Chains A and B, each alone.
Chain A
Amino acid sequence: DVKVTQSSRYLVKRTGEKVFLECVQDMDHENMFWYRQDPGLGLRLIYFSYDVKMKEKGDIPEGYSVSREKKERFSLILESASTNQTSMYLCASSSKRGPNTGELFFGEGSRLTVL
Protein backbone atom coordinates (compact mmCIF):
# COMPACT_ATOMS: atom_id res chain seq x y z
CA ASP A 1 0.00 0.00 0.00
CA VAL A 2 1.44 3.36 -1.02
CA LYS A 3 2.18 5.72 1.77
CA VAL A 4 3.04 9.23 2.84
CA THR A 5 4.19 9.26 6.44
CA GLN A 6 4.41 12.32 8.64
CA SER A 7 6.66 11.89 11.65
CA SER A 8 4.45 13.52 14.28
CA ARG A 9 0.68 13.56 14.52
CA TYR A 10 0.55 16.05 17.38
CA LEU A 11 3.12 18.57 18.57
CA VAL A 12 3.05 21.29 21.21
CA LYS A 13 5.80 23.91 21.03
CA ARG A 14 6.56 27.24 22.64
CA THR A 15 6.83 30.57 20.87
CA GLY A 16 10.31 31.04 19.44
CA GLU A 17 11.18 27.35 19.25
CA LYS A 18 12.52 25.83 16.05
CA VAL A 19 10.17 23.16 14.72
CA PHE A 20 10.86 20.38 12.25
CA LEU A 21 8.05 18.51 10.49
CA GLU A 22 9.23 15.46 8.58
CA CYS A 23 7.54 13.70 5.68
CA VAL A 24 8.54 10.52 3.87
CA GLN A 25 6.92 8.92 0.81
CA ASP A 26 7.54 5.45 -0.58
CA MET A 27 6.11 5.95 -4.08
CA ASP A 28 9.21 7.36 -5.80
CA HIS A 29 7.27 10.55 -6.53
CA GLU A 30 9.09 13.56 -7.94
CA ASN A 31 6.80 16.19 -6.43
CA MET A 32 6.29 16.87 -2.74
CA PHE A 33 4.24 19.54 -1.04
CA TRP A 34 3.53 21.09 2.31
CA TYR A 35 0.04 22.50 2.86
CA ARG A 36 -1.45 24.25 5.80
CA GLN A 37 -5.12 23.60 6.67
CA ASP A 38 -7.21 26.03 8.69
CA PRO A 39 -11.01 25.98 9.20
CA GLY A 40 -12.84 27.90 6.50
CA LEU A 41 -9.67 28.52 4.49
CA GLY A 42 -9.21 25.11 2.88
CA LEU A 43 -5.67 24.05 2.09
CA ARG A 44 -3.01 26.64 1.36
CA LEU A 45 0.30 25.74 -0.25
CA ILE A 46 3.37 26.63 1.79
CA TYR A 47 6.20 25.14 -0.30
CA PHE A 48 6.58 22.74 -3.17
CA SER A 49 9.51 20.64 -4.39
CA TYR A 50 9.70 19.06 -7.85
CA ASP A 51 13.08 17.39 -7.44
CA VAL A 52 15.83 16.79 -4.92
CA LYS A 53 17.24 20.09 -3.64
CA MET A 54 14.68 22.03 -5.72
CA LYS A 55 11.96 24.08 -4.06
CA GLU A 56 9.45 26.76 -4.87
CA LYS A 57 7.49 29.07 -2.63
CA GLY A 58 3.79 28.52 -2.46
CA ASP A 59 1.12 30.98 -1.39
CA ILE A 60 2.14 31.43 2.24
CA PRO A 61 5.89 30.77 2.62
CA GLU A 62 6.59 33.48 5.20
CA GLY A 63 7.95 32.05 8.43
CA TYR A 64 8.70 28.65 6.87
CA SER A 65 11.56 26.96 5.06
CA VAL A 66 11.97 23.49 3.58
CA SER A 67 14.63 20.92 2.88
CA ARG A 68 14.73 18.08 0.37
CA GLU A 69 18.04 16.28 0.47
CA LYS A 70 16.63 12.92 -0.66
CA LYS A 71 13.84 12.16 -3.09
CA GLU A 72 11.65 10.44 -0.52
CA ARG A 73 11.95 13.02 2.26
CA PHE A 74 10.63 16.58 2.50
CA SER A 75 10.98 18.58 5.69
CA LEU A 76 9.16 21.72 6.79
CA ILE A 77 11.00 24.01 9.18
CA LEU A 78 9.58 26.76 11.34
CA GLU A 79 12.64 28.78 12.29
CA SER A 80 10.93 30.58 15.17
CA ALA A 81 7.45 29.31 15.89
CA SER A 82 4.69 31.83 16.52
CA THR A 83 1.15 31.38 17.79
CA ASN A 84 -0.31 32.18 14.37
CA GLN A 85 1.41 29.07 13.04
CA THR A 86 -0.85 26.87 15.16
CA SER A 87 -2.49 24.74 12.48
CA MET A 88 -2.79 21.38 10.77
CA TYR A 89 0.09 20.69 8.38
CA LEU A 90 -0.39 18.24 5.54
CA CYS A 91 2.35 16.72 3.43
CA ALA A 92 1.55 15.35 -0.02
CA SER A 93 3.33 13.85 -2.99
CA SER A 94 2.54 13.30 -6.65
CA SER A 95 4.05 11.87 -9.79
CA LYS A 96 4.84 13.82 -12.93
CA ARG A 97 4.05 10.85 -15.11
CA GLY A 98 1.65 7.97 -15.56
CA PRO A 99 -2.09 7.56 -15.15
CA ASN A 100 -2.16 9.25 -11.75
CA THR A 101 -0.35 12.42 -12.82
CA GLY A 102 -1.62 15.35 -10.81
CA GLU A 103 -3.22 13.25 -8.10
CA LEU A 104 -1.96 14.15 -4.66
CA PHE A 105 -1.33 11.48 -2.01
CA PHE A 106 -1.55 12.88 1.50
CA GLY A 107 -0.10 12.02 4.87
CA GLU A 108 -2.35 11.94 7.92
CA GLY A 109 -1.34 15.42 9.02
CA SER A 110 0.60 17.00 11.87
CA ARG A 111 -1.38 19.14 14.26
CA LEU A 112 0.91 21.80 15.68
CA THR A 113 0.00 23.96 18.68
CA VAL A 114 2.28 26.89 19.50
CA LEU A 115 1.85 28.29 23.02
Chain B
Amino acid sequence: AQSVTQLDSQVPVFEEAPVELRCNYSSSVSVYLFWYVQYPNQGLQLLLKYLSGSTLVKGINGFEAEFNKSQTSFHLRKPSVHISDTAEYFCASPRAGGTSYGKLTFGQGTILTVHP
Protein backbone atom coordinates (compact mmCIF):
# COMPACT_ATOMS: atom_id res chain seq x y z
CA ALA B 1 0.00 0.00 0.00
CA GLN B 2 1.10 3.52 -0.65
CA SER B 3 2.34 5.42 2.34
CA VAL B 4 3.88 8.71 3.29
CA THR B 5 5.73 8.89 6.59
CA GLN B 6 6.70 12.02 8.43
CA LEU B 7 9.49 11.12 10.78
CA ASP B 8 8.97 13.81 13.41
CA SER B 9 5.68 14.64 15.09
CA GLN B 10 7.04 17.83 16.66
CA VAL B 11 10.00 20.04 15.82
CA PRO B 12 10.86 22.95 18.15
CA VAL B 13 13.37 25.51 16.89
CA PHE B 14 14.51 29.01 17.73
CA GLU B 15 13.79 31.95 15.50
CA GLU B 16 16.32 32.45 12.66
CA ALA B 17 17.59 28.88 12.98
CA PRO B 18 17.45 26.48 10.01
CA VAL B 19 14.88 23.71 9.99
CA GLU B 20 14.31 20.41 8.18
CA LEU B 21 11.04 18.51 8.29
CA ARG B 22 11.45 14.95 7.11
CA CYS B 23 9.18 12.97 4.80
CA ASN B 24 9.69 9.52 3.32
CA TYR B 25 7.43 7.89 0.80
CA SER B 26 6.98 4.27 -0.15
CA SER B 27 8.35 3.41 -3.55
CA SER B 28 4.92 2.28 -4.73
CA VAL B 29 3.37 5.73 -4.64
CA SER B 30 3.29 7.99 -7.61
CA VAL B 31 6.33 10.26 -7.68
CA TYR B 32 4.27 13.36 -7.29
CA LEU B 33 4.81 14.89 -3.88
CA PHE B 34 3.31 17.82 -2.03
CA TRP B 35 3.90 19.76 1.16
CA TYR B 36 0.96 21.54 2.74
CA VAL B 37 0.94 23.93 5.69
CA GLN B 38 -1.85 24.47 8.19
CA TYR B 39 -1.73 27.59 10.35
CA PRO B 40 -3.70 27.55 13.62
CA ASN B 41 -7.45 27.43 13.09
CA GLN B 42 -7.16 27.38 9.32
CA GLY B 43 -7.41 24.89 6.47
CA LEU B 44 -4.42 23.55 4.59
CA GLN B 45 -2.66 25.47 1.85
CA LEU B 46 -0.11 24.28 -0.66
CA LEU B 47 3.49 25.09 0.21
CA LEU B 48 5.18 23.42 -2.76
CA LYS B 49 4.94 20.45 -5.08
CA TYR B 50 7.15 18.13 -7.07
CA LEU B 51 5.71 16.75 -10.28
CA SER B 52 8.79 16.27 -12.47
CA GLY B 53 11.96 18.04 -13.55
CA SER B 54 14.39 19.63 -11.13
CA THR B 55 14.66 17.75 -7.87
CA LEU B 56 14.96 20.98 -5.88
CA VAL B 57 11.59 22.63 -5.55
CA LYS B 58 11.03 26.11 -4.19
CA GLY B 59 7.80 27.10 -2.54
CA ILE B 60 6.17 30.00 -0.78
CA ASN B 61 7.54 31.74 2.32
CA GLY B 62 11.15 30.72 1.62
CA PHE B 63 10.61 26.96 1.93
CA GLU B 64 12.20 24.43 -0.40
CA ALA B 65 12.24 20.66 -0.69
CA GLU B 66 14.45 18.15 -2.41
CA PHE B 67 13.18 15.04 -4.10
CA ASN B 68 15.62 12.17 -3.51
CA LYS B 69 14.65 9.05 -5.40
CA SER B 70 17.40 6.82 -4.02
CA GLN B 71 16.44 7.61 -0.45
CA THR B 72 12.70 7.89 -1.22
CA SER B 73 12.60 11.18 0.62
CA PHE B 74 11.13 14.64 0.12
CA HIS B 75 12.41 16.69 3.06
CA LEU B 76 11.26 20.27 3.59
CA ARG B 77 13.82 22.91 4.54
CA LYS B 78 14.07 26.57 5.40
CA PRO B 79 17.41 28.26 6.15
CA SER B 80 16.02 30.74 8.68
CA VAL B 81 12.60 30.42 10.30
CA HIS B 82 10.30 33.11 11.68
CA ILE B 83 7.77 33.04 14.47
CA SER B 84 5.07 33.13 11.78
CA ASP B 85 6.22 29.73 10.47
CA THR B 86 4.73 28.08 13.53
CA ALA B 87 2.21 25.68 12.01
CA GLU B 88 1.57 22.04 11.20
CA TYR B 89 3.12 20.71 8.01
CA PHE B 90 1.87 17.75 5.98
CA CYS B 91 3.61 15.74 3.31
CA ALA B 92 1.30 14.10 0.74
CA SER B 93 1.30 12.02 -2.41
CA PRO B 94 -1.40 10.87 -4.85
CA ARG B 95 -2.73 7.38 -4.57
CA ALA B 96 -2.82 4.93 -7.45
CA GLY B 97 -4.19 6.44 -10.59
CA GLY B 98 -1.96 9.47 -10.69
CA THR B 99 -3.03 13.01 -10.07
CA SER B 100 -6.24 13.31 -12.03
CA TYR B 101 -8.57 12.39 -9.19
CA GLY B 102 -6.59 14.19 -6.53
CA LYS B 103 -6.90 11.52 -3.87
CA LEU B 104 -3.91 12.24 -1.72
CA THR B 105 -2.38 10.15 1.03
CA PHE B 106 -1.20 12.41 3.85
CA GLY B 107 1.51 11.91 6.41
CA GLN B 108 0.71 12.24 10.09
CA GLY B 109 1.84 15.86 10.24
CA THR B 110 4.76 17.66 11.88
CA ILE B 111 4.09 20.51 14.27
CA LEU B 112 6.78 23.17 13.87
CA THR B 113 7.05 25.53 16.82
CA VAL B 114 9.34 28.52 16.47
CA HIS B 115 10.49 30.06 19.74
CA PRO B 116 11.73 33.65 20.11
Q: How far is the CA of A20 from the CA of B102 in the complex (A)?
A: 24
Extra A-B contacts (18), CB below 8 Å, given A40-B109, A95-B102, A109-B43:
A40-B9, A41-B108, A43-B90, A43-B106, A45-B103, A90-B43, A94-B102, A101-B99, A101-B100, A101-B102, A102-B49, A102-B98, A102-B100, A102-B104, A103-B49, A104-B44, A106-B36, A106-B45
A42 pairs with B109, CB closer than 8 A = yes
Alpha-carbon gap, A48 to B106, bound state (A): 15
* Contact (Cβ within 8 A) A4 B43: yes
- Nearest Cβ in chain A — how far from B53, in angstroms? 13
Mark each residue of chain B from 91 to 104: 1 if its CB lies under 8 Å from any CB of chain A, else 0: 00010001111111
Produce 1/0 per residue, B33-56, CB < 8 A to A. 010100001111110010100000
How far is B108's CA from A103's CA once the two chains are assembled, in angstroms?
A: 18
A31 at the A/B interface (Cβ < 8 Å)? yes
Contact flag A50-B101 (CB < 8 Å), given A40-B9, A90-B43: yes
Chain A residues with Cβ under 8 A from B101's Cβ? Answer: 31, 48, 50, 96
Instruction: Give the number of chain A interface residues (Cβ < 8 Å).
Output: 25
A-B contacts, 22 of them at CB < 8 A, read A31-B101, A33-B102, A42-B90, A42-B107, A43-B44, A43-B90, A48-B103, A50-B101, A58-B103, A90-B43, A92-B44, A95-B102, A96-B101, A102-B34, A102-B49, A102-B102, A103-B46, A103-B102, A104-B44, A108-B42, A108-B43, A109-B42
Q: Are A40 and B99 in contact (CB under 8 A)?
A: no
Partner of A107, one of B43, B94, B98: B43
Question: Contacts of A96 on B, CB cut-off 8 Å?
Answer: 100-102
